Amino acid sequence: MQEKGQISALQMGIMMFPFMLAINFLVYPTIAAQYAGNDFWLVGFFHFLFGSVIIYILTKLHKLYPHQTLSEYSEKIIGKFPAKLLMFLYLFYFLHSLGASIRQYAEFVTGTFLFRTPILLILISIVLLAAITVRCGVEVIARSATILVPLFVIPLTMLILLLPDLHIKHVMPILSHGIIPVVKATQWWIGNFIVIAYLLPYLSNPESGRKASMFTLTAVVVTGTYINLLCLMLLGPDTSVKIYPVHVLFRYVSFANFFENMEALLLVMWVVGCFIRVAVFYYVASVSLAQWLNLENYRSFVFPLGLLIVVFSLWDFPDVSAMGVFFRTAYPFEQLLTGLVIPLFLLLIALLRRKKPEQVSVNETNH
């Protein structure tokens, strides 16, 4: 085991909430609206469907191989060498997602708040902070996430103040182009749920893992729909045009002529959310790398990995429009592959192997 700490299922659930929503809530309304017009708020349905399938698969796998991460049990399922190959793919995926995440984080900060601050500084500052946290272990990540979550949630509730400016008419007509555009708009970012494969083994009450994940999924879908609906009802056809529709929402809040221009709140929730997302992803990447190299302790290469993440973030995309192209085209397939297809394939093989004589599996779990 690379980690000695333990977290509770509830903590994992709370930690996963900003992990899933951060970044996504700011960018995806635009992409979704580009595909589905005024129906994009319905994507939550598919997120829920897809998310529950992923959670089912991962918790099932975890039940078959308790106290093991994806990297560990994939070796038991498909053998050492293919698993190493597969895990290299995952490692790459984690690093790539991390790079993309912090790049999006920094792009937003430099694009809307700190125009002249070097992007490298913004990238490094969050990676450094996350690295320190990751070195402290999963317990500290979970605990800080729990404390920071209110900072992520409260700004969202402030958007209620937009109520007088919302127009229900923008929602109509519902599904005038059928369901296909909505499926396209789904974007599958819910596939990030794969990281629970690395958190479930450290739960103090693993039996509640599925419940907590489903709880998070529901919260994520509800919040996502809430944000999407707000965007749609305020911005209408303009949603697909804005680079950061939620940013506009926060800027548009005006209450009693005094509580105006609340984008500071967005910055707060953005940084907090991204920090939690990066910390969790970073932790998962570090653990999976340690397990890939069969090392006892992941802590020693947290900092070197951080350098790699910064480099990845700069190499991933030359500019914002390339980022947009990636998220519109390649990203859904990446998510589907890593989030759904591979775990499903692992689960099927695992179930098939389980059906073989008892001896085999006993031998394997002893290792």
Q: Which residues bind other proteins (CB under 8 A)?
A: 8, 10-11, 14, 109, 111-118, 121-122, 125-126, 129, 132-133, 136, 139-140, 142-144, 146-148, 169, 172-173, 176, 234-238, 241, 248, 251-252, 254, 257-258, 260-264, 267-268, 271-272, 275
Q: How far is the CB of 181 from other proteins (least distance, A)?
A: 13
Nearest-approach distance from CB 309 to other proteins, in angstroms: 17
357 conformational bin, left if phi > 0, alpha if psi -120 to 50, beta if neither: beta
**In angstroms, what is the minimal distance from the CB of 112 to other proteins?**
5
CB of 144 to other proteins, least distance (A): 5
- Name the residue nearer to other proteins (CB basis): 262 or 350: 262
| Residue pair 365/354 in contact by the 8 Å Cβ criterion | no
What residues pair up with 7 in beta bridges, in sequence order?
A: 203
DSSP-derived 3-state class of residue 203: strand
Q: State which residue, 190 or 234, has the beta carbon closest to other proteins.
A: 234
Its sign, for the CA torsion 266, 218, 102, 336, is negative
Q: How far is the CB of 298 from other proteins (least distance, A)?
A: 17
Decide whether 131 or 346 has the Cβ nearer to other proteins. 131
- Closer Cβ to other proteins, 143 or 353, answer by number: 143
Q: Minimum Å distance from CB 253 to other proteins?
A: 8
Among 322, 321, 309, 301, which Cα is nearest to 277's?
Answer: 309
Q: Give the residue with the Cβ less far from other proteins, 163 or 172.
A: 172
Q: Which is nearer to other proteins, 37 or 343 (CB)?
A: 37
- Our CB check for other proteins shows the closer of 238 and 364 to be 238
The torsion angles phi and psi of 175, rounded to 5 degrees, stand at: 55, 45
Type of residue numbered 222 = V
Minimum distance, C-beta of residue 247 to other proteins, in the bound complex (Å): 9
Whole-number Å distance between alpha carbons of 82 and 85:
5
List C-alpha distances in Å: 283 to 72, 141, 212, 275, 329. 16, 9, 20, 12, 27
What lies within 8 Å, CB to CB, of 177 at 6+ separation is 36, 37, 39
Instruction: Read off φ and ψ for residue 256, nearest 5 degrees.
Output: 55, 30
| Cβ distance to other proteins smaller for residue 81 or 115 | 115
Least spacing, CB of residue 37 vs other proteins, in Å: 11
- How far apart (Å, rounded) are the C-alpha atoms in residues 130 and 146? 15
For 336, other C-beta atoms within 10 Å of its C-beta total 14
Query: What are the Cα distances from residue 261, in Å, to 107, 153, 247, 249, 267?
Result: 20, 18, 10, 10, 12
CB of 301 to other proteins, least distance (A): 20
φ, ψ of residue 153 to 5 degrees: the values are: -90, -40
Q: In the complex with other proteins, which residue's Cβ is closer, 113 or 303?
A: 113
- Assigned token pair, 134: 């990751």
* Residue 257 one-letter amino acid: N
